[in-house]
């Protein structure tokens, strides 16, 4: 009934593809930039740290550096205008910027809430508001939202981070319903544990930890298949997904036992 055709238009031909990566200075964003550069993509690299972006760009054949701050909506508009002027359009916009701060419920403050909420959720929303008119006018293109397995269900220490990622999962689903009929693909990436500067400070076991190059390869493979949700490593993410089907009492008991919190 539902067939086996890709849910999105597969992205396989990268030579000359115009890709804007927001959050490209380190971690998964930087690894994805390097991976796509080897495939011939034209890249725009954005983040706050210009020096770090220049280091990534030096490893890429065709990459420009467009520093910006995702907490400033006007920065999205500024870089968008520069890219449209230079390239004439966009083929893929990757919203990878974000932050993580472990917080328990009793550690919440307005400042700590906004420290995570603004870059993780409001930033992508502001970015979408900036680029979607251009993509819809083209009648083609794609956006990618960087979620997390932390968005699948409640976890200790993810009191703000988890809800922002859960919201991005919901947002991606909603976007797909609006945009796919108008030619714009929506991709959602939900990684498990990946060795990045954000996870380096974790003081707990991280099952099935991947390096950033493996993560980038998994993303590119998922884009090539036209997947809506790209999640990895499957042996871990499939387990976390399965936990959500359990009765709440059992879910809470297992999470406490596994995390020790």
Find the angle CA(166)-CA(50)-CA(112) to the nearest 5 degrees: 35
Please give the distance of CA 78 from its chain centroid, rounded to a whole number. 21
* Block residue for tokens 């770090």: 52
Inter-residue contact 54 to 99 (CB < 8 Å)? no
Marked catalytic residue, from 100, 161, 176, 251? 161
Inter-residue contact 19 to 92 (CB < 8 Å)? yes
Told to judge if 161 belongs to the known catalytic residues of this protein, a careful annotator would answer: yes
> What distance in Å separates the CA atoms of residue 108 and residue 90, rounded to the nearest whole number?
39
> What distance in Å separates the CA atoms of residue 175 and residue 170, rounded to the nearest whole number?
9
> What distance in Å separates the CA atoms of residue 145 and residue 95, rounded to the nearest whole number?
5
User: What residues are annotated to the active site?
Assistant: 161
């Amino acid at each position: 009934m539902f067939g086996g055709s890709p849910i999105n238009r597969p992205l396989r031909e990268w030579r000359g593809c115009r890709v804007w990566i927001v959050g490209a200075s380190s971690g998964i964003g930087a690894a994805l930039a390097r991976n796509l550069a080897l495939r011939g993509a034209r890249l725009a690299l954005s983040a706050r740290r210009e020096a770090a972006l220049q280091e990534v760009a030096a490893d890429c054949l065709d990459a420009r550096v467009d520093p910006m701050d995702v907490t400033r909506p006007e920065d999205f508009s500024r870089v968008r205008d520069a890219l449209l002027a230079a390239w004439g359009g966009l083929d893929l916009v990757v919203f990878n910027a974000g932050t993580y701060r472990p917080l328990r419920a009793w550690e919440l403050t307005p400042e700590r809430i906004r420290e995570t909420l603004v870059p993780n959720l409001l930033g992508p929303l502001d970015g979408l508001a900036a680029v979607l008119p251009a993509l819809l006018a083209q009648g083609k293109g794609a956006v990618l939202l960087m979620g997390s397995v932390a968005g699948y269900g409640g976890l200790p220490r993810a009191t703000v981070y988890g809800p922002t990622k859960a919201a991005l999962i919901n947002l991606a689903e909603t976007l797909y319903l609006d945009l796919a009929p108008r030619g714009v693909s929506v991709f959602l990436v939900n990684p498990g544990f990946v060795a990045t500067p954000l996870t380096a400070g974790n003081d707990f076991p991280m099952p099935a930890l991947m390096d950033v190059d493996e993560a980038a390869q998994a993303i590119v493979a998922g884009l090539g298949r036209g997947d809506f949700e790209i999640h990895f490593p499957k042996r871990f993410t499939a387990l976390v997904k399965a936990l959500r089907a359990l009765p709440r009492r059992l879910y809470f008991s297992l999470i406490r036992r596994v995390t020790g919190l």
